[in-house]
Structure 1
Amino acid sequence: MSNRLPPLTALRAFDAAARHMSFALAAAELNVTPAALSFQIKSLEDHLGQPLFHRKNRAVELTEAGRTLAPGAAEGFQTLTAAWNATRRLQDNTNLTVTAGPALTAKWFAPRLYEFARAHPEIDLRFSATLRRMDLERDDVDVAIRFGEGSDDGLYSRPVRKEWLTPVMSPEMAEQFPTPESLMKAPLIYDDSISFLRPSCDWPTWFRAMGINHTPVHGTHFSNADHAVDAALAGAGAVLGRRAMIVKDLAEGRLVAPFKVAIETQGRFRFLCLPGAETRPQIAAFRDWFFAEIEKTVHISDQFTIIPVEDIPPA
């Protein structure tokens, strides 16, 4: 048996048939006739010297050899496709695909993207609002904005300033609860999207930062940060709002932060792309715009005493 690799078309036919477990469906995917696909697989079996499929009346099954080959063939084509797409993107200076979490997309990016589009009409920007972990080598994504404390090994990673949190509410509610102590009786809103942070950045932690021993037991919980902020905007309660999610509403007076003490998380947003890709014109333009926009609201942080969460005594 020769060590020479078989033709790529034959391997492609096998990969499609192994994924679909159907010659007809595989042929449709590859836009060839079932007879042509069957011929390619037969040539692959001849090259190997043993069958890859058990052929039955209305179905096919992988042989032991087929089960051995299938994972490697699938991974090989995925890798080849990713490499090809990445190589094609090197020649593309007009399209840019960015992924960010739904809350950051809604509360931070969406109100500002008009400015980027106006400054860079030559760039076609696409946003994918998801928290799904992206593989920047395989997925059709150029830039990822992600929050947390994880490492970014193998990527270009530029961190944003650390996030802080402080109680925010509607102006009307702020009149009803003028002191930190009175907030113990206020309807509280919980942003559970950051419950993974350690040390915890939650209501009991903020109360301890204020020297108040209080552990709230009731309130409304939201899994998305933007929903929690929207509830506060509607007057449903006070939320421990994250800087990125509340800074525009604070600046424009829709929310107020009566108590000028914030707790600083150990997590932060990071601007991520493949190493070397940060110099591509559209990525560099988006990166520079992103960080310039952040700097426009840095002065709001100066209004607060910001306490690192690790400096707050545990419960």
Structure 2
Amino acid sequence: MRRLPPLGAIEAFIQVARLGSVKAAATELALSAPALSRRVQALERFIDRPLFERRHQAIVLNADGERLLAQIAPVLDSLSDAVEAMTSTTEVLRLRLGILPLYASQQLFPRLGELRAAHPELHLDIDTGGHGVARLGEGLDAVIALAREVDPQLYARRLARDKVYVIAARRFLEGPNPITEPHQIRQLTALIHREMPENFTAWRVAAGVEDIEPAAIDYFDSGALLLEAAAQGLGVAFMHESQFQQARDPRLVHLFDINVESPYSYYFLCRPRALHQRAVRIFHDWL
């Protein structure tokens, strides 16, 4: 039987290749950076060729590294699945998912029947508490978060791009003094989600009213309550097109036909090592 390189060296190579960072890979594998580098170098000596190009503050796969990753990463993932299946005391797979309540109610829960039908063994523990990203690996396996930028040490998959919508009660558009021009924002209370403050700034710049202040600004930490406040006529909400469309609330209208890309997007986030967990990969691929 042909001799194989140490499994630890293979695991180190795959983590560095996926993360593009020795430091990040070392953190995932609970190793020091020098120890992880030695494992990668051991694999390179074993196959007698370099696998990475070392650049200033970066490490990237060369052609040999790309070819090796494509061949062995799926094998290691399959090996992890086999060990997990043999050591598990139950066939139930459980995913601890952090998620924002509005995204959960509008976009996840309407599709959960589809997920259960495709993967009856997968069960979700839903967590709508705050600071989900900070709790990855410590109570949460993955999160669906709203973010402008993401930590490069995390695995991130953008779920969709979105536009900023100004959402208001129908009477704001159909009443006796309709709101039809952006400069009328000075008459209104702006309703803003605490996790999306830059939506208001981006919209004002696009609308050419960055020097105009609203009558007041009210902040919310709940998207559902923000939509309800807008429906009650308490102000105009600066939210996402998808949130407006999914609400399907006849009390609400979209003001101003101004095309503004949101600085924020929903992301699926997890620690790269979590992708080895079958529950995380099933949910990721389905999502």
Secondary structure, counterpart of 2:97 in structure 1 = strand
Matches within 5 A, 1:1-80: none
Contact persistence 1:102–1:131 (CA under 8 A): no
Q: C-alpha displacement at 1:185, in angstroms?
A: 6.2
Per-residue deviation at 1:244? 4.5
The match for 2:228 is 230
Distance 1:183 1:143, change over 3 A: same
Aligned to 1:146: 145
- The correspondence for 1:270, drawn from 247, 267, 271, is 267
Task: Verify the 8 A CA contact 2:202 2:262 in the aligned structure 1.
Answer: no
Deviation at 1:98, TM superposition (A): 0.6
Q: CA deviation at 1:127?
A: 0.6
Contact 2:182 2:256 in 1 (8 A): no
Looking at structure 2, the residues matched to 211 and 271 of structure 1 have their Cα atoms a distance apart, in angstroms, of 33
3-state SS of 1:265 partner:
coil
Structure whose alpha-carbon radius of gyration is higher: 1
Please report the RMSD computed on the Cα atoms of aligned residues, expressed in angstroms.
Answer: 3.3
Quote the Cα distance in structure 1 between the aligned partners of 2:204 and 2:163: 15
1:180: which partner in 2? 181
1:136 aligns with 2:133: no
CA contact (8 A) 1:208 1:214 kept: no
In the TM superposition, residue 99 of structure 1 has moved relative to its aligned partner by 0.5
Residue 158 (str. 1) matches residue 157 (str. 2)? yes
Q: 1:243 to 1:113 in 2, by over 3 A?
A: farther
TM-score by length of 2: 0.56
User: Is residue 163–residue 242 contact of structure 1 (8 Å, CA) maintained in 2?
Assistant: yes
Distance 1:208 1:245, change over 3 A: same
State the match for 2:46 in structure 1.
none
Q: Of the candidates 253, 258, 261, which is equivalent to residue 256 of structure 1?
A: 253
Letter in 2 for 1:230: E
Change (3 A) 1:135 1:182: closer
Give the equivalent residue in structure 2 for 1:80.
none
- What percent of counterpart residues are identical? 21
1:40-71 deviation line (CA, Å, top 9, x unaligned): xxxxxxxxxxxxxxxxxxxxxxxxxxxxxxxx
Q: Which stretches of structure 1, 4 residues or more, deviate above 4 A after TM superposition?
A: 87-93
Which position in structure 2 is the counterpart of 1:285? Answer: 282
SS of the residue corresponding to residue 241 of structure 1 reads strand
Amino acid at match of 2:261: E
1:239 alignment counterpart: 237
Q: Please, which runs of 5 or more residues in structure 1 have no aligned partner? A: 1-86, 291-315
CA distance in 2, matches of 1:218, 1:140: 38
Match of 1:227, SS state, is helix
| 1:178/1:116 CA distance change after superposition, 3 Å | farther
Name the amino acid aligned to 2:126: F
Name the SS for the 2:252 alignment partner: coil
Quickly say closer, same or farther: Cα 1:186–1:121, change in 2 above 3 A. farther
Distance 1:184 1:135 in 2: 38
- With over 3 angstroms needed to count, the CA separation of the structure-2 counterparts of 1:189 and 1:226, relative to structure 1, is farther
CA distance in structure 1 between the aligned counterparts of 2:184 and 2:111, rounded to whole angstroms: 32
Contact preservation (8 Å) 2:144, 2:266: yes
Query: Secondary structure at the residue paired with 1:256?
Result: strand
CA distance in 2, matches of 1:214, 1:188: 12
Describe the shift of the 1:173–1:101 C-alpha distance in structure 2 as closer, same or farther (beyond 3 A).
same
Give the alignment's TM-score, normalised by structure 1.
0.52
User: Is 2:94–2:122's contact at 8 Å kept on the other side of the alignment?
Assistant: yes
Counterpart in the other structure of 1:211: 208
What SS does the aligned partner of 1:95 have? strand
Cα distance between partner residues in 2 of 1:268 and 1:117:
26
Q: Secondary structure at the match of 2:261?
A: strand
1:93-121 superposed Cα distances (whole Å, 9 cap, x missing partner): 62111102344334443444344334433
C-alpha distance in 2 between matches for 1:150 and 1:179:
33
Contact 2:190 2:216 in 1 (8 A): no
Distance 1:287 1:205 in 2: 30
User: Separation in 1 of the partners of 2:276 and 2:147?
Assistant: 25
Q: Distance in 2 between matches of 1:218 and 1:151?
A: 30
Query: Does the Cα contact within 8 Å between 2:186 and 2:212 map onto a contact in 1?
Result: no
Equivalence for 1:117: 116
Residue 205 of structure 1 and its aligned partner are, at CA, apart by 4.6
Contact preservation (8 Å) 2:98, 2:127: yes
Which residue in the other structure is 1:194 paired with? 195
Residues 274 and 182 of structure 1: is their aligned pair in 2 closer, same or farther, counting only changes over 3 Å?
closer
